[in-house]
Structure 1
Amino acid sequence: MVRRKVALVIQEGVQALDAVGPLDVFAEANAHLPACEHYECSLIGHHSAPVRASNGLLFLAHMTFEQASDPFHTVLVAGGPCLPDGVEDQVISAWLQAACGRAIRYGAICTGAFTVGHAGLLDGRIVTTHWRHAGQLAQLFPKADVQPDRIYARDGRLVTSAGVTAGIDLALALVKEDHGPAIALACAKQLVVVAQRQGGQSQFSPLLMSGAAYETPLSSIQAHVTAHLNEAFPVRRLATIAGLSVRSLSRLFMKEMGCTPHDYVEAIRIDRARNLLEATDLAVKAIAFDCGFNSPAQMRAVFRKKLGLSPVQYRASFQYRT
């Protein structure tokens, strides 16, 4: 076995956890591996001066792009809050094209996917990123298959992760790939995280509007549905509430929310159910009827389809107690 050299690209405004999360996983893996199999991790940046993270933490790159000319086993780009709206950095794009071309695997944590996309390395690939920016990534790089509910994705040599702490999930998956599940589990135990998170990003990104003016058709629907959630809401009833025709309402939902009226109501039901599962000891059957599902079985089916886990599994993972 040989050492695996890992390059982690950092830029001004980097999300600190995007960088230190994966680095801590690889460092913990080293504690369980012989020296000849250690990960050798290097931060790569424009210069040797401090790089300020979005939380104010300062990072120092081990190498500049010019210095980092040797092949790496793994090349990753850390994300940052400014990257989705940033312009292409041609120096980074050129370096990534060369480095990723020689790497065994490459990719991004969180919004680092935008940097990888600017380098032309997402085309034709399944990718993910932070749920808040998935739509923007898909719009900017239409040749990529953006799947917003993934915690992490692997497509050939390309690996990408969802937001922030999902970089830890991705790094654990890479350790498991390299050294087997026992080492990955040992790392997860030491870092006090789950070795394989159940479900997808939909657990954390309910499809609800925030702060919308009440008099808009969509916010009127949200207010009414939320107040009468245990009732049925066929599309004709929603159209009446909004004061629109069924066709106009459907078009409005697709334009503004990117989903059908039925899917939107279902998302509100799921969000209420999630909150009750997290904060109460109510029986699953009671929660199902309170949230407007026809039966516990229907709620279970919807949870599995949308979140990737059952209501019981969701409660076990996310319930908190005061």
Structure 2
Amino acid sequence: MKTVAMVLFPDFLLLDMAGPMEVFSTANRYLQPGDRYQLSLIGTEPGVLRASNGVRVQADMHIDQARGGYDLLLVSGGPGASSERCPPLLEWLPGAVGRSVDYGSICTGAFILGHAGLLDGYRVTTHWDYTERLVRAFPGATVETDRIYVRDRNLITSGGVTAGIDLALAVVARDHGRKVAQDVAKLLLVVMKRQGGQAQFSPLTAPVGARETPVTRVQNHVLEHLDETFGIERMAGLANMSARHFSRVFAREVNMTPMAFLQSARIDRARSLLETSDLPLKTVAYKSGFGSVRHMRFLFSEKLGLTPTQYRQQFS
């Protein structure tokens, strides 16, 4: 019997806990008694813990009582994952991980692992809205920004919220074979493997800064005229700079090249049109500045892992 424990703290995200635990619990229906998962909830405070949505959950034990190891020790995410609030958890985690076979996190639980010194030297991920913060906070880790989940040796981390279900299905497939995991996915009405990664949910375009500069003026002009043709020379001319100087200044201010910004903005414009209108793909491509459906399809597949048609079916 494999043991799986989930660490909870005040203001945790309920679905971060419930999604993976439901996968393991459902898998038990297809497994022999000796192969089933034994599930435990470990709390950072005695008694009932309140999730971020207000639901109260009773943990099986307090961290002071959890002295053994586990086959898989997971840390949930949520608003309360700012772990500086709970030094005892950071003190407890390294020893608990050392006694366990595998460990990991759901969503922003990666920050708790990071503050406990458990991410350095590993490839990891978290919710798309927090990946840049994870990069800055823990430079010793390699953050995969577009992955639904990442397994690196004995560490497995997932993107946000429902990505914990993907993580748990991957664990079940590894432990008991793909057939069991497929049966669980069908019963829960989820897919075994999603098309594309987290990029399909997150905006690709860097936000335009609030302070007006030559670069922000160019950004706003580009966003207002995406159906027009732009190159470095034209954008640099709008900023009254040489092309070389403009490229350096733009990259410094925006953290991406001018052409990467243009391409991302066009993809985001097309995504918005696909989500909110029934316009033909040819019209979407024209209004977004791609020039052709073929070019738009290529970039969608490259950046999002979906074709425009698949994106519309999934998000509209």
Structure 1 length normalisation: TM-score?
Answer: 0.89
Structure 2 CA distance for aligned equivalents of residues 6 and 242 of structure 1: 57
Paired residues of 1:199 and 1:307 also in contact (CA < 8 A): yes
Deviations along 1:247-301, whole A, 9 cap, x unmatched?
5543444344321111111111111222233344444343223321243332222
Q: Aligned pair in 2 of structure 1 residues 152, 281: CA closer, same or farther (>3 Å)?
A: same
Paired residues of 1:214 and 1:220 also in contact (CA < 8 A): no
Match of 1:140 in 2: 137
Match of 1:126 in 2: 123
Deviations along 1:139-169, whole A, 9 cap, x unmatched?
1110100011111101111100111111111
Match of 2:8 in 1: 10
**How many aligned residue pairs are there?**
316
Percent identity over paired residues: 48
Matches within 5 A, 1:219-298: 219-247=216-244, 249-298=246-295
Match of 2:71 in 1: 73
Report the 3-state secondary structure (helix = DSSP H, G, I; strand = E; otherwise coil) of the residue aligned with 2:66. coil
CA RMSD of the aligned region, Å?
2.2
Paired residues of 2:73 and 2:104 also in contact (CA < 8 A): yes
Q: Following TM superposition, by how much is the alpha carbon of 1:82 offset from its aligned partner in structure 2, in angstroms?
A: 4.1
Matches within 5 A, 1:45-194: 45-83=43-81, 85-87=82-84, 89-194=86-191
Paired residues of 2:208 and 2:220 also in contact (CA < 8 A): no
Paired residues of 1:13 and 1:52 also in contact (CA < 8 A): yes
Q: Aligned pair in 2 of structure 1 residues 201, 253: CA closer, same or farther (>3 Å)?
A: farther
Match of 2:20 in 1: 22
Structure 2 length normalisation: TM-score?
Answer: 0.91
Gaps of 5+ in 1: none
Deviations along 1:11-66, whole A, 9 cap, x unmatched?
11111111111111111111222222221111111232221211111122111112
AA in 2 matched with 1:72: Y
Which residue, 295, 298, 303 being the options, matches 1:301? 298
Range that drifts further, 210-219 or 63-72: 210-219
Q: Aligned pair in 2 of structure 1 residues 12, 151: CA closer, same or farther (>3 Å)?
A: same
Q: Following TM superposition, by how much is the alpha carbon of 1:7 offset from its aligned partner in structure 2, in angstroms?
A: 0.9
Structure 2 CA distance for aligned equivalents of residues 251 and 88 of structure 1: 40
